[in-house]
């Protein structure tokens, strides 16, 4: 053979090129995905350079040793590619390394048997030399045991492809091509072994050629989709950085995965449960809320707010349940978002908008809203008591506005205590200044009786001014009743007329005008 042969030279150049790129992959920051791919590429380059040397030389023993070296890459490369696929699909260094060790044991045994074959002849029944394109290479006829090991390597290759294909359903659409191209790349050596013989097409070192194509394609995919930083390799880091609790339940409704935020939330009502013990728990062991259980068990998308009542605090959670996973409905995703602070702010804003800040009863706006609700529900008759504290200005003038505020607070407490909503179905509110209102679902006669009873109750209550001096509160009340829907403005106008009459008649009395 002449010293310069283009084809072996091409194989050699590709081998060194791929080896160089495999070393570049190990630069920091690296992770298990890049390391496993780098090792796979180093094995591929080893296979290619030993194939090129085999095509260059003519010595039979040297060619046999080079073929044995090729078997190291041929047996071990599928193991590392499987680990590469597993770590992309489900990042778990400890678990995936265990898989590789278990699957790598038969491959290592196969390599040992190949190197010791001249002693026992278990792997090769015949070794000959044949010439293709003017290049000599070894041709091997495997024994039945050798065929079993070859079948095992094919199984590992198909398992790797299956791992990629199975995970495509859970990937964002724009990343699915990465798995598809990776599968095609890994299948190239297998396709070359199975298809080319049927095409009667003979290529020297055809497996090395397919390894070069596989390696270049994998490097392209890595560069194009960057497995080092794009989903799902960095999925764990993404999940752990989220404030939302991410919880995954499997087909048997057992917990598959939970991030740190999710564990902290569950730990609030299950402080005794260690994170490692949560994995495997069923949904009904972790949650008691029926909406969560029904959403998970029925595989339905749902969203709702959940109030968790604890001994020392109440927690408000936004719960989102979504079916995901293989075949669309096997895995249930539960997302818990802590909205306690948001709810407290909302409640505070609601209180400010609907309740009087001084007396903590309904303000005018909320009072009118509740009246309109009674109209919509046709809850008749409706009686409106409009009250005004008698001589309230004297409290302010004599004792100051601080004492005046105290009088308003004390009166609001008395009003609320007397007209208890559970007893009279009443609504109590501050209309403005020293003016208060009460809505009762009673006719005029019974409402008038309650108004008189309230005035009598007030006479039994004294206000202590500055902790010493006692003062009595009296109130004038204007009452109006309606049996049909009328506006609040009209009700107020009629009640105000009655109140004016009560004041003119000497105060501390009830006057009635029917609307």
Contact 429, 366 (CB under 8 A): yes
| Arch. (CATH architecture) of 355-512 | 2-Layer Sandwich (3.30)
Q: The tokens of 300 are what?
A: 């339905």
Q: Return the CA Rg of the chain.
A: 42
Q: Determine the Cα angle at 412 with ends 408 and 413, to 5°.
A: 120
pLDDT score, position 497: 95
Nearest-CA neighbor of 410 among 391, 441, 389?
389
Q: Choose the catalytic residue: 5, 54, 137, 434.
A: 434
434 carries an active-site annotation: yes
Specify the domain boundaries for CATH 3.30.70.270 within the chain: 355-512
Residue range(s) of every CATH 3.30.450.20 domain in the chain: 242-344
494 in Cβ contact with 515 (< 8 Å): yes
Looking at residue 360, what DSSP letter applies? -
What would the pLDDT profile of 290-345 be if each residue is shown by its tens digit? 999 999 998 888 999 998 888 778 889 999 999 886 544 578 899 999 998 888 88
Query: Omega of the bond prior to 109 within 30 degrees of 0, cis?
Result: no
One digit per residue, the tens of pLDDT, for the chain of length 515 reads 444 567 778 888 888 988 988 888 777 656 788 888 899 999 999 988 988 888 888 788 888 888 888 889 989 999 999 998 888 877 778 888 999 999 999 999 999 998 998 888 888 888 777 777 767 777 778 889 989 998 999 999 999 999 888 877 666 665 677 788 888 888 888 777 766 666 666 777 778 888 888 888 888 887 766 544 444 445 666 677 788 999 988 888 888 888 888 888 888 888 877 766 788 888 988 898 999 999 999 888 899 999 888 877 888 999 999 988 654 457 889 999 999 888 888 888 888 888 998 999 999 999 999 999 999 988 789 999 999 999 888 888 888 888 888 889 989 999 998 987 656 568 999 999 999 999 999 999 999 999 999 999 888 877 776 666 677 889 999 999 999 999 999 999 999 999 999 999 999 999 998 75
Quick one: CA torsion of 48, 53, 59, 65, rounded to 10 degrees?
Answer: -40
CB 250 within 8 Å of CB 90: no
Label residue 439 exposed, middle or buried (CB < 10 Å: 0-12, 13-18, 19+).
buried
Angle between helices 32-56 and 60-89 (to 10 degrees): 160
DSSP character string of 201-263: ---TTHHHHHHHHHHHHHHHHHHHH-TTTSTTTTHHHHHHH-SSEEEEE-TTSBEEEE-HHHH
pLDDT digits (tens, 9 = 90+) for 166-200: 877 666 665 677 788 888 888 888 777 766 666 66
**At 172, is the secondary structure helix, strand, or coil?**
coil
Q: Where in the chain is the domain with CATH 1.20.1070.10?
A: 6-225
Q: Which residues pair with 333 in a beta bridge?
A: 248, 322
Model confidence pLDDT, tens digit, residues 211-228? 888 888 888 887 766 544
Residues 511 and 505 sit within 8 Å (Cβ to Cβ): yes
Q: What is the CATH number of domain 6-225?
A: 1.20.1070.10
CA 439 vs. chain centroid, Å, equals 47
What CATH number matches the domain at 242-344, 3.30.930.10, 3.30.70.2740, 3.30.450.20, 3.40.50.720? 3.30.450.20
For helices 206-225 and 176-195, the axis angle rounded to 10 degrees is: 180
Residues 6+ apart with CB under 8 A from 226: none
Query: What is the pTM for the complete model shown?
Result: 0.50
């Amino acid at each position: 053979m002449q010293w310069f042969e283009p084809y072996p030279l091409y194989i050699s150049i590709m081998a060194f090129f791929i080896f160089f790129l495999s070393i570049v992959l190990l630069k920091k920051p690296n992770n298990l995905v890049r390391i496993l791919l780098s090792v796979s590429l180093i094995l591929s380059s080893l296979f290619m350079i030993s194939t090129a040397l085999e095509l260059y030389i003519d010595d039979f023993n040297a060619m046999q040793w080079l073929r044995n070296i090729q078997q190291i890459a041929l047996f071990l490369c599928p193991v590392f590619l499987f680990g590469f696929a597993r770590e992309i699909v489900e990042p778990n260094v400890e678990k995936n390394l265990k898989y590789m060790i278990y699957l790598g044991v038969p491959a290592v045994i196969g390599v040992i048997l190949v190197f010791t074959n001249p002693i026992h002849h278990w792997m090769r029944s015949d070794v000959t030399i044949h010439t293709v394109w003017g290049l000599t290479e070894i041709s091997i006829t495997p024994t039945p045991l050798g065929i079993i090991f070859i079948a095992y390597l094919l199984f590992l290759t198909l398992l790797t492809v299956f791992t990629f294909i199975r995970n495509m359903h859970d990937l964002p659409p724009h990343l699915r091509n990465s798995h598809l191209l990776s599968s095609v790349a890994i299948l190239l050596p297998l396709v070359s072994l199975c298809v080319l013989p049927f095409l009667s097409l003979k290529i020297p070192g055809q497996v090395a050629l397919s390894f070069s194509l596989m390696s270049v394609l994998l490097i392209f995919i890595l560069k194009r989709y960057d497995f080092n930083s794009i989903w799902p390799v960095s999925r764990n880091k993404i999940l752990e950085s989220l404030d939302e609790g991410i919880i995954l339940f499997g087909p048997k409704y057992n917990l598959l995965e939970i991030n740190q935020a999710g564990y902290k939330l569950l730990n609030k009502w299950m402080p005794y449960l260690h994170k490692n013990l949560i994995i495997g728990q069923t949904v009904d062991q972790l949650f008691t809320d029926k909406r969560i259980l029904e959403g998970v068990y029925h595989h339905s998308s749902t969203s709702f707010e959940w109030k968790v009542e604890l001994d020392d605090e109440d927690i408000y959670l936004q719960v989102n349940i979504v079916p995901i996973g293989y075949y669309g409905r096997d895995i249930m995703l539960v997302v818990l978002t802590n909205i306690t602070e948001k709810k407290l702010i909302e409640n505070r804003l609601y209180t400010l908008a609907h309740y009087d800040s001084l007396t903590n009863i309904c303000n005018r706006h909320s009072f009118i809203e509740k009246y309109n609700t009674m109209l919509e529900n046709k809850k008749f008759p409706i009686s409106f008591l409009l009250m005004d504290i008698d001589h309230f200005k004297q409290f302010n003038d004599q004792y100051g506005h601080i004492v005046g505020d105290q009088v308003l607070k004390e009166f609001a407490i008395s009003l609320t205590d007397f007209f208890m909503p559970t007893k009279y179905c009443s609504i109590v509110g501050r209309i403005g200044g020293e003016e208060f209102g009460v809505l009762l679902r009673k006719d005029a006669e019974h409402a008038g009786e309650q108004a008189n009873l309230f005035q009598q109750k007030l006479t039994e209550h004294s206000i202590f001014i500055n902790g010493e001096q006692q003062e009595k509160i009296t109130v004038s009340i204007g009452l109006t009743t309606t049996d049909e829907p009328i506006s609040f403005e009209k009700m107020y106008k009629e009640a105000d007329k009655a109140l004016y009459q009560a004041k003119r008649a000497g105060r501390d009395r009830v006057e009635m005008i029917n609307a």
